[in-house]
Protein backbone atom coordinates (compact mmCIF):
# COMPACT_ATOMS: atom_id res chain seq x y z
CA UNK A 1 0.00 0.00 0.00
CA UNK A 2 1.45 3.35 -0.99
CA UNK A 3 1.62 6.37 1.29
CA UNK A 4 -0.85 8.23 -0.93
CA UNK A 5 -3.40 5.42 -0.63
CA UNK A 6 -2.92 5.30 3.12
CA UNK A 7 -3.38 9.06 3.45
CA UNK A 8 -6.54 8.90 1.35
CA UNK A 9 -7.92 6.08 3.52
CA UNK A 10 -7.18 8.08 6.66
CA UNK A 11 -8.87 11.16 5.24
CA UNK A 12 -11.93 9.13 4.26
CA UNK A 13 -12.12 7.63 7.75
CA UNK A 14 -11.80 11.07 9.35
CA UNK A 15 -14.63 12.47 7.24
CA UNK A 16 -16.82 9.44 7.92
CA UNK A 17 -16.18 9.64 11.66
CA UNK A 18 -16.95 13.35 11.61
CA UNK A 19 -20.21 12.85 9.78
CA UNK A 20 -21.44 9.91 11.80
CA UNK A 21 -20.37 10.92 15.28
CA UNK A 22 -19.98 14.65 15.62
CA UNK A 23 -22.75 15.89 13.34
CA UNK A 24 -25.37 13.47 14.66
CA UNK A 25 -24.55 14.29 18.28
CA UNK A 26 -24.60 18.02 17.62
CA UNK A 27 -27.89 17.79 15.73
CA UNK A 28 -29.58 15.82 18.52
CA UNK A 29 -28.22 18.22 21.12
CA UNK A 30 -29.44 21.22 19.18
CA UNK A 31 -32.86 19.63 18.68
CA UNK A 32 -33.11 19.02 22.43
CA UNK A 33 -32.19 22.63 23.22
CA UNK A 34 -34.75 23.94 20.71
CA UNK A 35 -37.46 21.57 21.97
CA UNK A 36 -36.93 22.48 25.63
CA UNK A 37 -36.81 26.20 24.89
CA UNK A 38 -33.60 26.91 26.76
CA UNK A 39 -31.20 28.22 24.12
CA UNK A 40 -29.10 30.37 26.47
CA UNK A 41 -28.79 28.18 29.54
CA UNK A 42 -28.20 24.57 30.46
CA UNK A 43 -31.30 22.43 30.12
CA UNK A 44 -32.72 21.10 33.36
CA UNK A 45 -35.98 19.79 34.67
CA UNK A 46 -38.09 16.79 33.75
CA UNK A 47 -38.04 17.37 29.98
CA UNK A 48 -34.25 17.45 29.84
CA UNK A 49 -33.94 14.37 32.03
CA UNK A 50 -36.50 12.46 29.96
CA UNK A 51 -34.79 13.49 26.73
CA UNK A 52 -31.42 12.40 28.10
CA UNK A 53 -32.66 8.96 29.10
CA UNK A 54 -34.58 8.51 25.84
CA UNK A 55 -31.48 9.29 23.77
CA UNK A 56 -29.33 7.04 25.95
CA UNK A 57 -31.79 4.18 25.42
CA UNK A 58 -31.93 4.86 21.68
CA UNK A 59 -28.14 4.74 21.30
CA UNK A 60 -27.84 1.68 23.55
CA UNK A 61 -30.44 -0.24 21.53
CA UNK A 62 -28.78 0.81 18.29
CA UNK A 63 -25.41 -0.45 19.52
CA UNK A 64 -26.89 -3.72 20.77
CA UNK A 65 -28.76 -4.27 17.50
CA UNK A 66 -25.52 -3.77 15.60
CA UNK A 67 -23.76 -6.18 17.96
CA UNK A 68 -26.44 -8.81 17.33
CA UNK A 69 -25.80 -8.55 13.61
CA UNK A 70 -22.01 -8.84 13.93
CA UNK A 71 -21.42 -11.27 16.83
CA UNK A 72 -21.77 -15.03 17.28
CA UNK A 73 -21.73 -17.37 20.27
CA UNK A 74 -21.95 -16.15 23.86
CA UNK A 75 -21.50 -12.43 23.05
CA UNK A 76 -24.36 -12.73 20.53
CA UNK A 77 -26.63 -14.21 23.17
CA UNK A 78 -25.78 -11.45 25.67
CA UNK A 79 -26.44 -8.71 23.12
CA UNK A 80 -29.63 -10.37 21.85
CA UNK A 81 -31.38 -10.47 25.24
CA UNK A 82 -32.15 -6.72 25.55
CA UNK A 83 -32.85 -6.35 21.82
CA UNK A 84 -35.19 -9.32 21.57
CA UNK A 85 -36.45 -10.77 18.32
CA UNK A 86 -36.59 -7.54 16.38
CA UNK A 87 -34.85 -6.58 13.20
CA UNK A 88 -34.80 -7.72 9.59
CA UNK A 89 -31.92 -10.14 10.20
CA UNK A 90 -34.25 -12.41 12.18
CA UNK A 91 -36.22 -13.23 9.03
CA UNK A 92 -33.00 -14.17 7.24
CA UNK A 93 -31.92 -16.44 10.09
CA UNK A 94 -35.26 -18.26 10.01
CA UNK A 95 -35.03 -18.59 6.23
CA UNK A 96 -38.06 -16.37 5.59
CA UNK A 97 -36.88 -14.28 2.67
CA UNK A 98 -34.14 -11.72 2.46
CA UNK A 99 -33.17 -9.26 5.20
CA UNK A 100 -34.74 -6.40 3.25
CA UNK A 101 -38.13 -8.11 3.36
CA UNK A 102 -38.36 -8.60 -0.39
CA UNK A 103 -38.35 -11.90 -2.19
DSSP, collapsed to helix, strand or coil, labels residue 91 as helix
The pLDDT value given to residue 83:
64
Task: Give the model confidence (pLDDT) of 53-88 as tens digits.
Answer: 888 888 877 777 777 777 777 777 777 776 666 555
The pLDDT value given to residue 56:
82
CA–CA distance, 49 with 43 (Å, rounded to integer):
9
CA distances to 21, 24, 40, 55, 62 from 32, rounded to whole Å, are 17, 12, 13, 10, 19
User: Could you tell me the end-to-end alpha-carbon distance of the chain, in angstroms, rounded to an integer?
Assistant: 40
Q: Give pTM, 2 decimals.
A: 0.41
The pLDDT value given to residue 39:
60
Judge contact between 65 and 90, C-beta under 8 A. Answer: no
DSSP state of 98: -
Judge contact between 68 and 79, C-beta under 8 A. Answer: yes
Angle between helices 73-83 and 46-70 (to 10 degrees): 140
Amino acid sequence: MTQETLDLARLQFALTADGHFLCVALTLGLATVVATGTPGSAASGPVAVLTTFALMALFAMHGLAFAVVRLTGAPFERARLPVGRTGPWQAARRGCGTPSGTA
